[in-house]
Chains A and B, each alone.
Chain A
Amino acid sequence: MNIIKSMNALLILVVAVLFSQHAVSLNADEAYDVNVRVQLIWGTNGENPYPDKLKELEDKLKDKLKSVFKWKNYFEVSRHDIGLKKDRTKRIRISRKCELELTFTGDSNLEIKLFGEGKFVNKVRQSIAPDEHAIIAGDDKNDTAWFIAFSFQPPEKEKDNKTR
């Protein structure tokens, strides 16, 4: 009986130790070095076909895109705010077919791996200034285009959350 009690106590101790270590690691993960905003954007000359799903892109980024690209309307399909630690990689799915791997390599350098339908497409190493956007983009059907915008966000938005 004493042996069983001792075993139970030992088991509780082991569980407690493991839980505390996990808690420590969770806290450590929350102290991100940078916060990256990833926005999947759709550019079109037409109207918004899904007003309930596609949000009008914020004016600042929309004006930037309009000044460079030919499309008149830009809609945000999804947005992800990702906290990254230096030299750590995070993989996110931004659409049904497209995934990204993001690695913060220090200073203002971001390494982006793009996967289309599970296939590695390309790797981009980009230095992004605080008020700059890095864009990976391509043509889409019916004379439209997709854009993935990357930007560093101020520290107060340190949350790894998907807004939509």
Chain B
Amino acid sequence: MIDERKELKIQAYLDGELTIFGRYKVNRLLAHNAEARRLHAELNSIQELLHHNELDHPLPEDKESFRTRITHQLRVEGEGTSRVPNRIRPVLKWVAASAATALIIFAGVYSLMSPENSNQTPAHVLLGGESIEPEAANASFITFKSESAKLSVVWVDTKSSPVASPIN
């Protein structure tokens, strides 16, 4: 016996209103319940009948509906410029921002590594250090960790801080 709730589910299934999980549940119902299959076939045939025999009778367009249509069209065209689904867009933005930051850091570090830029800090990999509390005014520090070399480095920018070189 198909109850009203299941009937509504089958109807929603035919109308394409269900989520993937909902469709999965209805598929299972149809696979195991003959009455559900019968109802599904019946509703499907009604839907197809209505679809194919619907009269195409356009209503006269008033000012309000014209404005709504144009607004809708503009919005659709605006969205159409991006092929990325809305829910992926924030993730992509985050990835793009992270990639850009990583690229900038990498470019900076790479340029520092080259002998031509020997005035600046050399490093391969930038990573967070454990914890640094700079005290000196204008002191700047870069922390990075090389997993391959097993080195954690705190690079003290002695050009902007009053750190005395310990060599001298």
Interface of A toward B, CB cutoff 8 Å: 40, 42, 45, 64-65, 67-71, 77, 94-98, 109, 114, 116-117, 119-129, 131-141, 143-144, 146, 148
A144-B164 Cα distance, complex, nearest whole Å: 14
A111 to chain B, nearest CB (A): 9
Partner of A119 from the list B130, B136, B155, B156 (CB cut-off 8 Å) is B136
* Interface flags, B129-168, vs A, CB<8A=1, else 0: 1111111100101000010111111111111011111111
- Chain A neighbourhood of B158, CB < 8 A: 138-140
Q: CA–CA, A116 to B157, complex, Å?
A: 13
Contact sample, A vs B, 24 pairs, CB 8 Å cutoff: A40-B167, A45-B115, A64-B151, A69-B123, A70-B114, A95-B168, A97-B164, A98-B164, A116-B136, A116-B166, A117-B164, A119-B162, A122-B139, A123-B132, A124-B130, A124-B154, A127-B130, A128-B152, A134-B152, A134-B153, A135-B152, A139-B157, A139-B159, A143-B119
Residues of the A chain whose Cβ atoms lie less than 8 Å from the Cβ of B167: 40, 42, 77, 95, 140, 144, 146
Minimum CB–CB distance from A64 to chain B (whole Å) comes to 4
A139 to B160, CA, bound (A): 11
Is A68 touching B146 in the complex (CB atoms < 8 A)?
yes
Selected from B115, B150, B157, the residue in CB contact (under 8 A) with A131 is: B150
Which one of B149, B152, B162, B166 lies within 8 Å of A148 (CB-CB)? B166
Contact indicator B166/A133 (Cβ below 8 Å): no
Closest to A149 in B: B151
Chain B residues with CB below 8 A from A114, complex form: 156, 163
Interfacial chain A residues near B134, Cβ < 8 Å? 121-122
- The interface on chain B, measured as residues whose beta carbon lies within 8 A of the other chain's beta carbons, has a size of 41
B29 part of interface (Cβ distance < 8 Å): no
| Known contacts A77-B167, A132-B152, A146-B165; is-contact A121 B159 (Cβ 8 Å) | no
Q: Which residues of B contact A136 (CB under 8 A)?
A: 153-154, 156
Is A122 a contact of B154 with CB atoms below 8 Å? yes
A122 touches B133 (CB 8 A): yes
Contacts of A68 in B (CB 8 A): 122-125, 146, 149, 151, 153
Q: A121-B135, A124-B131 are in contact. Are A138 and B146 (CB under 8 A)?
A: no
A143 to B114, CA, bound (A): 12
* CB < 8 Å neighbour of B136 from A121, A128, A134, A144: A121
Q: Which residue of A lies closest to B134 (CB)?
A: A122
Is B122 a contact of A70 with CB atoms below 8 Å?
A: yes
Determine the distance from Cα of A95 to Cα of B148 in the docked complex, in whole angstroms.
30
Q: Roughly how many angstroms separate A111 CA and B133 CA in the complex, as a whole number?
A: 11
Let me know if B113 is at the binding interface, CB within 8 A.
Answer: yes
Given A70-B115, A133-B151, A136-B156: A122 in contact with B136 (beta carbons within 8 A): yes
**In the complex, chain B residues 93-117 whose Cβ is within 8 Å of any chain A Cβ:** 113-115
The docked-state distance in angstroms from the alpha carbon of A96 to that of B167 is: 8
| Chain B positions within 8 Å of A69 at CB level | 122-123
